[in-house]
Structure 1
């Protein structure tokens, strides 16, 4: 069946709806990462970071969907990815501390896009399994469904940036969310499958520890930086 013919089938439109809906549900944490990474940029560059970061992330997801099922079976990959998320959460929280200093500094556009891509790559590993299942091997459906999710992520990220400007505590909560996903990613690794199966509590404890680690260490950095900024 050709791509044009597939557009005329009910299965195509049902699959498209499923992909868009999956992305609406699963893109909340991605919107938080994008907002955290872009908020330190000058206002003129924020929209660029959100647009290019979201667009590049979607392209990455399309490629990732093709190999995600295989990647998730590789031992220690999710442990490394989870540790990367913990580091990203710490870095984004440190940027908040730098913004609170006497001389605020602006972030870098390429650096923000790089952060968005790395975080989205790790956070999307298991998400794309659902997207791939809905697409059922139809590349047109996959690309179209993910492309339609770009405006949703852009809107969510823009909203989060405005919210963070009004409520600085949202930044801490956002960093904590990244830490939560980081801990969740680590405990989901195949190398820890038997351990997690033997101790079901770890499915809740690991994400909580990840969030506590990011927020706790981030606040410790802030505390240590206060004498220097106050001097």
Structure 2
């Protein structure tokens, strides 16, 4: 329960809220055809199934990220997710969510749709947890009521204050930069270049080693700046293209 734990927990909650907007939409669309008495139960079961699947996926991905080069791939993918968030691209596919009047069919629809759409959440949460299983399990469990009851409010706040989106995108870029640097292959190269650039990970001994503070902050800040820069450039070009038409 040190500072790193609480910082990681807050990062996970923030990430999940920013990237779970579609989850609330999927639940609403899949349950819209249910009778009034079953609709609330459908929302609860659908959200529970979705979060349960994310925990399972996160466990799998966390173990996979210990393999050399997979953190490099994951970090690049997370940079792309962060840039997409900053650029403001909308995810599609909501129109394909089938309406049903059967409770279990609605829950199945929510679970399948969320499993397909939740790679960004799972990857970001697995990266932010730094191998701490209880951290992302607790973080995901805590976001269940927020996803169910607070999604509309949160989405409204984000639309009203775009700064939250930019800050979230920068946070994802920060985590992606750190993830790229802490790939086992990269750490090995850093250690060969200068042993002082790598230190033992005392918080998560199972992970073994991690980047020293200086290269960690350089990589993390570079990731955050890169994401914000891409977002600003693309948005400016879109504005200029719209003005030209």
TM-score of the aligned structures, taking structure 2 as reference length: 0.59
1:184 is matched with which residue?
A: 178
Q: Say yes or no: does 1:34 pair with 2:45.
A: no
Q: CA–CA distance in 1 between the matches of 2:237 and 2:13?
A: 34
Q: Which runs of 5+ in 1 are unaligned?
A: 1-21, 97-104, 135-141
Instruction: State the Cα distance separating 1:185 from its structure 2 match.
Output: 1.4
Q: Deviations over 1:123-164 (max 9, x none)?
A: 233528433599xxxxxxx7x996565224545654432221
The answer as to whether partners of 1:86 and 1:178 remain within 8 angstroms in 2 is yes
Instruction: State the Cα distance separating 1:118 from its structure 2 match.
Output: 1.4
Instruction: State the Cα distance separating 1:71 from its structure 2 match.
Output: 1.7
Q: CA–CA distance in 1 between the matches of 2:139 and 2:239?
A: 47
Instruction: Give the alignment partner of residue 206 of structure 1, picking from 219, 227, 237.
Output: 219
Instruction: Give the alignment partner of residue 60 of structure 1, picking from 54, 62, 67.
Output: 54
Structure 1 residues 193 and 157, CA, compared in 2 at 3 Å: closer, same or farther? farther
2:82 is matched with which residue?
A: 89
Q: Say yes or no: does 1:174 pair with 2:168.
A: yes
Q: CA–CA distance in 2 between the matches of 1:164 and 1:145?
A: 20
1:216 is matched with which residue?
A: 229
Q: CA–CA distance in 2 between the matches of 1:157 and 1:187?
A: 33
Equivalent pairs, count = 189
Structure 1 residues 72 and 38, CA, compared in 2 at 3 Å: closer, same or farther? closer
Q: CA–CA distance in 2 between the matches of 1:119 and 1:106?
A: 12
Q: CA–CA distance in 2 between the matches of 1:172 and 1:119?
A: 17
Structure 1 residues 53 and 219, CA, compared in 2 at 3 Å: closer, same or farther? farther
Q: Say yes or no: does 1:130 pair with 2:132.
A: yes
2:121 is matched with which residue?
A: 120
1:225 is matched with which residue?
A: 238
1:7 is matched with which residue?
A: none
SS in 1 for 2:126: coil
Q: CA–CA distance in 2 between the matches of 1:145 and 1:182?
A: 19
- Which deviates more from structure 2 when the two are superposed, residues 114-123 or residues 221-230? 114-123
Instruction: State the Cα distance separating 1:228 from its structure 2 match.
Output: 1.4
The answer as to whether partners of 1:32 and 1:157 remain within 8 angstroms in 2 is no
Q: Deviations over 1:90-128 (max 9, x none)?
A: 1122226xxxxxxxx884437995785111221233528
Q: CA–CA distance in 2 between the matches of 1:175 and 1:133?
A: 21
Q: CA–CA distance in 2 between the matches of 1:30 and 1:128?
A: 16
SS in 1 for 2:172: helix
TM-score of the aligned structures, taking structure 1 as reference length: 0.63
The answer as to whether partners of 2:86 and 2:231 remain within 8 angstroms in 1 is yes
Instruction: State the Cα distance separating 1:216 from its structure 2 match.
Output: 0.1
1:75 is matched with which residue?
A: 68
